């Protein structure tokens, strides 16, 4: 067990190294000159020179990687050329926002996913099964931005129930905070709901035909008890660990949703930075989300290991 753990943790290091290479490489590959792109529309040659020099844009690639990586190891993720702010500050500011959005999305997707999965498994083969399936698949079958925009038109413009965009921190006003996140969390969580439905359904089907369930039924227990107490609890094991993984993906998958709903989180930050060639921002933020994803994966693996008695033996 310990050796497994140590090995898993040790693997993180080369993985993160490759993440840094991939994201650094991608940014530098992007056509266009960051200094030119960020110097402003007057394209003052002196400003361009200054930016090139200040951000080491005139140095060869390996030198720039070394400078950046060295900084990262010291906790300095570089600076946003566009707004002169340290990337670390931006990350710390926006992490809670995206995390809250991802968390709410996860709750929504777990609710929809598990419910639809259970219903689907219990009523396997019937129209309810197909119905639940389609309901869950709906989120996967519509482009994010489109669903989001429709929701905005319906709930904000036509009904006026929810704010169309923007974000209010929970510390300022919890009710408004939830109001700004409901629609984006729904849009984001919808897609994951389908995945969770599938898994819940398969896991439930497997479990429901398992011996101990048959025993419970034979003992004469009420069907609902059988399903919920014996079936669901065991089916939840793989589902919950998957949920933890989903959280990591949601964290990074919020890119478009934040763009549509103007939520000032990671996703919006990265997309804008790619188009502005504010490469330090992209590199720093992606490194953070990748780390979060990898750590969550690790925790999920450990949890699965601990929770699944069969593997432990």
Partner 1 sequence: MTAILDTEANLAELPDDQPWRRALRRLVGRRGAMVGLAVVLFFVLVAVFADHVAPYAATATDWSAVRKAPSAAHWFGTDEIGRDVLSRVIFGARASLMAGVISVLISLSFGVPIGLLSGYVGGFLDGLLMRIIDAMLACPFLILAIALAAFLGPNLTNAMIAIGISAMPAFVRLTRAQTLATKVEDYVEAAKAVGNSHLRIVLRHILPNILAPIMVQATLAIAAAIIAEAALSFLGLGQQPPAPSWGSMLNTAKNFLDRAPWMAWFPGLAIFMVVLSFNLLGDGLRDALDPKHK
Partner 2 sequence: MGRLKIALAAGLLLAASCAVASAESVLRIGLNEDPDILDPTLARTFVGRIVFMALCDKLFDITPDLKIVPQLATGYKWEDDNKSLVITIRDGVLFQDGEPMNAAAVKYSIERHLTFPGTTRKGEINAVTAVTVVDDHTVKLSLTQPFSPLLAALSDRAGMIVSPKAAEAGGDKFGNNPVCAGPYKFVELVPQDRIVVEKFDKYWNKDKIKIDRVVYQPIPDTSVRLANLRSGSLDMIERVPPTDVPTVKSDGKLNLMEIGSIAYLGITINTNNGPQSKNPLGQDERVRQALSLSIDRNALSQVVFNGEAVPGNQFEPPDNFYYNKDLPVPARDVDKAKALLKGAGVEHPSFTLMVPNSTVEQQVAQVIQSMAAEAGFDIKLQATEFASALQLSTKGEMQAFQIGWSGRVDPDGNIYNFVTCNAPLNDGHYCNPEVDKELKGAREVDDPAERLKHYKRATEIMLKELPIIYLYHQKLIYALDKKVAGFVPYPDGLIRLQGMAVQ
Q: How far is the CB of 19 from partner 1 (least distance, A)?
A: 4
**Paired residues of 86 in beta bridges:** 79
- The piece of 27-35, 59-67, 110-118, 214-222 that touches partner 2 (CB under 8 A) is 27-35
- The piece of 22-30, 39-47, 89-97, 220-228 that touches partner 1 (CB under 8 A) is 22-30
Question: Which residues between 46 and 75 bind partner 1 (CB under 8 A)?
Answer: none
Q: What is the Cα–Cα distance from 270 to 272, expressed in whole angstroms?
A: 6
- The piece of 9-17, 64-72, 224-232, 263-271 that touches partner 2 (CB under 8 A) is 263-271
Residue 86 main-chain phi, psi, to 5 deg: -65, 140
Contact 188, 105 (CB under 8 A): yes
178 sits near partner 2 (criterion: CB under 8 A): no
Which does residue 144 touch among partner 2, partner 1, none (CB within 5 to 8 A, set by kind)? partner 1
Q: What is the Cα–Cα distance from 177 to 188, expressed in whole angstroms?
A: 17
Q: What is the Cα–Cα distance from 109 to 175, expressed in whole angstroms?
A: 21
* Interacting residues of 236 by C-beta distance below 8 A, sequence separation 6+: 114, 203
Q: What is the DSSP letter of 162?
A: S
Residue numbers of the site for partner 1 (CB under 8 A)? 11, 14-19, 21-23, 26-27, 29-31, 124-125, 130, 133-134, 137-138, 140-146, 149, 153, 191-192, 194-195, 198-199, 202-203, 205-206, 209, 238, 242, 245-246, 249-250, 252-253, 255-256, 259, 267, 270-271, 274-275, 282, 286, 289-291, 293-294
Residues that bind partner 2 (CB under 8 A): 30-34, 36-47, 50-51, 54, 82-85, 90, 93, 149, 152-153, 156-157, 160, 163-167, 259-262, 264, 268-269, 272, 275-277
């Amino acid at each position: 067990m310990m050796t497994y753990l140590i090995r898993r943790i040790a693997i993180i290091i080369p993985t993160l190294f490759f993440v840094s290479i991939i994201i650094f490489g991608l940014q530098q590959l992007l056509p266009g000159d960051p200094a030119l792109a960020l110097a402003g529309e007057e394209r003052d040659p002196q400003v361009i020179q200054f930016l090139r020099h200040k951000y080491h844009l005139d140095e060869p690639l390996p030198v720039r990687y070394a400078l950046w990586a060295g900084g990262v190891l010291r906790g300095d993720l570089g600076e946003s050329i566009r707004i002169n702010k340290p990337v670390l500050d931006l990350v710390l500011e926006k992490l809670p926002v995206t995390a809250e959005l991802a968390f709410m999305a996860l709750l929504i997707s777990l609710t929809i996913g598990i419910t639809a999965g259970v219903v689907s498994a219990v009523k396997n083969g019937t129209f309810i099964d197909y119905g639940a399936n389609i309901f869950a698949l709906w989120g996967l079958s519509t482009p994010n931005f489109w669903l989001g925009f429709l929701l905005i038109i319906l709930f904000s413009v036509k009904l006026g129930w929810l704010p169309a965009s923007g974000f209010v921190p929970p510390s300022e006003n919890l009710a408004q905070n939830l109001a700004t996140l409901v629609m984006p969390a729904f849009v984001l969580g919808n897609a994951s709901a389908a995945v969770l439905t599938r898994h819940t359904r398969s896991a439930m089907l497997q479990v429901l035909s398992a011996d101990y369930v048959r025993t419970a039924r034979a003992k004469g227990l009420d069907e609902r008890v059988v399903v919920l107490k014996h079936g669901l609890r065991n089916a939840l094991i793989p589902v919950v660990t998957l949920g933890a993984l989903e959280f990591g993906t949601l964290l990074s998958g919020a890119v478009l949703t934040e763009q549509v709903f103007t939520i000032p989180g990671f996703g919006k930050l990265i997309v804008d930075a790619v188009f502005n060639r504010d490469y330090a921002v992209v590199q720093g933020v992606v490194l953070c989300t990748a780390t979060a994803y990898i750590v969550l994966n690790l925790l999920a693996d450990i949890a699965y290991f601990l929770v699944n008695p069969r593997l432990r033996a």
